[in-house]
Structure 1
Amino acid sequence: MSGRFIVVDGPSGVGKTTATALLAGALAAEGWQVHPTKEPTRTKLGETARYGTDDYRGLTLACLVAADRYHHLETEVRPALAAGKIVLCDRYLATSLVLQRLDGVDPAFIWDINRLADRPDLIVILTGDPASSRARAAARGIHSRFHRGGLDAGRREMDLYVRVSQELSDAGFAVHVHDVGEQSPDDVAATLLGPVRALLKAGGNGQTPTGSAARISES
C-alpha cells in the first residue's frame, strides 16, 4: 500500500478530534491527499459500539469494537491507503487497550482480538490535564459510560493512556506522545506536523505534495 496510516488517540476531551481535523487541513493545504476518519465508525456497527456502552460490557463490547475496526479497515482505510492517501484516524487500537481494560477485559485478550488489525505508520497519543479534558467532554455531551465518573475516572483514563503508549512502543509501534498543556488547538496541530512531516519525508508514500504551503506552521 502506498499511503500512510496515522492515528491520533488519547482520553476523551483532550482534543483529538479537533487536532485531527486541523492536521488534515494543514496537510491538504500542502497538497497531500488526506482521508480523515474515526472510530467507532458512523456505520450501524460503529454506532452500536459508540452508543451501546450501557447495554454492552466487557468481552461483548470489546468484540463489537474490534469487529467495527476490521470492517473499517476493509471498507475504508485500506482502499484509501491503496489510493496513496494519508489516512488520519481519530481513535484506534490504544482506545481499545485503555477502555476495554477499564471495563475489566484481560489485556491479553484485547491484543489477541486485534492482532490482525493493520499497524499504523504513526500513533500520536495526546495527553493533558484530566480535569480540563473531563470538562471539555462534559461540555460536548456525554454518550458513553466510560466518560462518566468525574475527575478520578479521568485520572485513571489518562494514566492508562500513558501506560499503553509505552506498551505500544515496546511492541514495536511508532508512537509519539504529546502533552497538550495550555496549547491552543492550532498550536497542538502545528506541533504534530513535525513528526508527521518526518514520517512522510522518510517513508515516501508515492505522493508528491503540490499547491500552497501549509496554513499552520510548526512551533
Structure 2
Amino acid sequence: MTGRFIVIDGPSGVGKTTTVALLASLVAADGWEVHRTKEPSHTTLGETARHGTDEYRGLTLACLVAADRYHHLDTEIRPAITAGKVVICDRYLATSLVLQRLDGVDGAYIWALNQHIDRPHLTIILTGDPVRSRARAAARGIHSRFHRGGPEAGYHERERYDQVAEELAEAGFPVHLHDVGEQQPEEVAAALLSPVRALLTVAGTQPPTGNAARISES
C-alpha cells in the first residue's frame, strides 16, 4: 500500500506547525503511520533557504527553494509515501507561489521551476486574522524578511494565499481552505481531520494498524 501526501500551508504565524503536530497525532490515533516534515527542509539546502532570505532574492532564492524541494522529495517524502506512510508537510508549493511572487518572480517561472514536483493528495491552506498571525510570528522570532512588515504586510500575504488556493484548485490540486477564526489549535486540527479522513478512506481503504501508529519526524 502506498501512502498519502498532505500539505498544510498558509501565512506565517497562522498556526501551521502546531496544527501539523496535532493533526499528525489524530491521524496516528486512527492507526496510520505518519511522517511529519517541513519546508524548507532541515538539510544544508533547506537551512540556506530558510536563513538566507536577506542574502538571496528573486530568481536566486526561487531556484534555491525549488532545489531544496526536489531534494526533499527524493530523499524523504517519496520514500515515506512508498513505505505506506501519511506524510504531512508544513509548507510546500503554495508558499513558493506567494513568497516568490512577493519577491518579484513571475508566476509562470515559479510554475516552471516546480513542474516536476509531486502533487499532494490534499493541500490544506490555513488563513486567519493577519494581526494575530503577525504577532505570533514576532513572538516566535523572525528569521525571514518575508515575516517582517507587521499587519499591513500580513493582510497582503493572506490575500495572496486566498488567490493561490484558487490557482491551485484550477490547476487540478485538491485544496481545502480553512479560516481558523477564533478556533484554538486543537479545534483547527479536529476540523481538518474530517477532510483528511475522507482522503485516507477512499474506496474503503482501512489504516494498516488497529491501534495508534508511530509518528516519525524530520
The aligned amino acid for 2:77 is V
1:217 is aligned to none
The 1-side partners of 2:14 and 2:179 are apart by 9
Superposed displacement of residue 208, structure 1: 2.6
* SS of aligned partner of 2:198: helix
Q: Structure 1 regions of 5+ residues with no counterpart?
A: 214-219
2:180 is aligned to 180
* SS of aligned partner of 2:173: coil
The 1-side partners of 2:63 and 2:153 are apart by 23
* SS of aligned partner of 1:196: helix
2:48 is aligned to 48
1:126 is aligned to 126
1:13 maps onto 2:20 in alignment: no
TM-score, structure 1 normalization: 0.94
The aligned amino acid for 1:5 is F
Instruction: Report matched runs for 1:61-210 at 5 Å.
Output: 61-202=61-202, 207-210=207-210
Superposed displacement of residue 142, structure 1: 0.2
1:216 is aligned to none
The answer to whether the 8 A contact 2:31-2:207 is kept is no
Could you list the structure 1 runs, at least 4 aligned residues long, displaced by more than 3 angstroms after superposition: 203-207
The 2-side partners of 1:39 and 1:205 are apart by 29
Superposed displacement of residue 205, structure 1: 6.2
The 2-side partners of 1:203 and 1:97 are apart by 32
The 2-side partners of 1:102 and 1:72 are apart by 23
Greater mean alpha carbon deviation, residues 70-79 or residues 150-159: 150-159
The answer to whether the 8 A contact 1:51-1:144 is kept is yes
Superposed displacement of residue 151, structure 1: 1.2
The answer to whether the 8 A contact 2:8-2:125 is kept is yes
The 2-side partners of 1:76 and 1:47 are apart by 16
The 2-side partners of 1:139 and 1:197 are apart by 33
Superposed displacement of residue 98, structure 1: 0.2
Superposed displacement of residue 29, structure 1: 1.4
The aligned amino acid for 2:197 is R
Aligned length: 213
Cα RMSD (Å) of the superposition? 1.4
